[in-house]
Amino acid sequence: MSSPTPSRRLLRWAAAALSSLLLAGCQSPAPRAPAVPLAPPGPPSSVIFIGNSFFYYNNGINNFITPLVRAGNPGAPWRTTMVTISGSGFDWHDVDSYFRPNAIGQYSFDPNNRVVFNKLERLFDVAVLMDCSQCPIHPQLAPVFREYAKKNADSVRRHGARPAFFMSWAYADQPEMTQQLARAYAEAGKEHDAIVIPAGLAFARSIRDRPDINLYAPDKRHPSVAGSYLAACTTYATLFGRSPVGLRATGGLDSDTAAFLQNVAWQTVQSYRGN
């Protein structure tokens, strides 16, 4: 057999080299852009609440938690934003868009209603995410909950914030939802290394110990003022790792009711962490 000509040898060498490059490209993924450094653990100075009407009822959970933060951490920097869509689940929100530059959080209003333009090192330290009230346990929507728990947690981390899942509460006439929701949120939190705010368990504890305190609006689903306040106390206790007991921010409730709900929130968070 005759030896290949120099031109044929060159073509064979080029083909082999190309194959090697293509194989290397398949085995070595393209380098990813570095992520924004994750917010350090500890008390947050900025939080975005992403959810639905369970958050925005009674003028918004952020307007209940802000006085608690001011009372418990006087002088500390604090900024909140709430992005809600009525009836929404995890999959309704474009979480990445909430972190776009020069948009959400670009300016705030001080106590005298003056506009303050923020110079932000990080847009938000924590993003609190809540799915629709049935989605995590609904036969058709539970897989969507699990899919978007990952997607949204990944989006939040990519922008340097810590994800927190807000465990919502059972409907007043369907108490069996409590443990079902608790299990779904606990599993998602563990799987995606996210904080879990056990508001649903706080509701159940309050109803068990003081059924005379109504936590629900007339529809038996949305929170009453007391319900929003309990949710805010539980959020404060979880994110700050501090007790709300004794704080003078009472959410407009009488002092006895507020004190009871503060204790419920703290006991629930301590018990949840212990378990």
The residue assigned the tokens 């706080």 is 202
- Asked whether residue 35 is assigned to any structural domain, the reply reads no
Residue 155 lies in a domain: yes
pLDDT at 122: 87
Query: Which amino acid belongs to residue 147?
Result: E
Predicted local distance difference test score (pLDDT) of residue 35: 54
- pLDDT tens track for 95-123: 999 999 889 988 888 889 999 998 888 89
Q: Is residue 2 part of a domain?
A: no
pLDDT surpassing 90 at residue 227: yes
The per-residue pLDDT of the chain, averaged, comes to 89
pLDDT digits (tens, 9 = 90+) for 169-216: 999 999 999 999 999 999 999 999 999 999 999 999 999 999 999 999
> Which pLDDT does position 17 carry in this prediction?
44
First to last CA, the chain: 78
pLDDT exceeds 80 at position 248: yes
Q: For the chain, give the number of residues.
A: 275
Whether residue 64 contacts residue 251, with contact meaning beta carbons closer than 8 Å, is answered with yes
Q: State the pLDDT at residue 27.
A: 40
CATH (domain of 115): 3.40.50.1110
Q: Which conformational region is residue 117 in: left (phi greater than 0), alpha (psi within -120 to 50 degrees), or beta?
A: beta
State the amino acid at position 171 in one-letter form: Y
Q: What's the CA gap between 149 and 163, in Å, rounded? A: 10
Domain count, the chain: 1
- In this structure, of 30-34, 43-47, 271-275, the range with the lowest mean pLDDT score is 30-34
How crowded is residue 204: how many other Cβ atoms within 10 Å of its Cβ?
Answer: 21
**104, part of any domain:** yes
The CB density around residue 35, as the number of other CB atoms within 10 Å, is 11
> pLDDT at residue 41 above 70?
yes
Q: Which residue has the higher pLDDT, 275 or 16?
A: 275
Q: Residue 82 — φ and ψ, nearest 5°?
A: -125, 125
Answer yes or no: is 178 within a domain.
yes
Q: Does residue 261 lie in a domain region?
A: yes
Q: Which two tokens stand for residue 162?
A: 């810590």
- To which residue do tokens 């303050």 refer? 116
What pTM did the predictor assign?
A: 0.85
More confident residue, 38 or 9: 38
pLDDT at 37: 74
Specify if 185 maps to a domain.
Answer: yes
For 244-273, what is the mean pLDDT?
97
User: pLDDT tens for residues 75-89?
Assistant: 999 999 999 999 999
Determine, yes or no, domain membership for 40: no
| pLDDT bracket for residue 65 (50, 70, 90) | very high
Q: Spell out the SS3 assignment of the chain.
A: CCCCCHHHHHHHHHHHHHHHHHHHHHHCCCCCCCCCCCCCCCCCCEEEEEECHHHHHHHCCHHHHHHHHHHHCCCCCCEEEEEECCCCCHHHCCHHHHHCCCCCCCEEECCCCCEEECCCCCCCCEEEECCCCCHHHCCCCHHHHHHHHHHHHHHHHHCCCEEEEECCCCCCCCCCHHHHHHHHHHHHHHHCCCEEECHHHHHHHHHHHCCCCCCECCCCCCECHHHHHHHHHHHHHHHHCCCCCCCCCCCCCCHHHHHHHHHHHHHHHHHHHHC
Cα distance between residue 215 and residue 148, in whole Å:
29
Please give the residue range of the domain that contains residue 229: 46-274
* 16, pLDDT greater than 80: no
pLDDT at 23 over 50: no
Percent of the chain whose pLDDT exceeds 70: 86
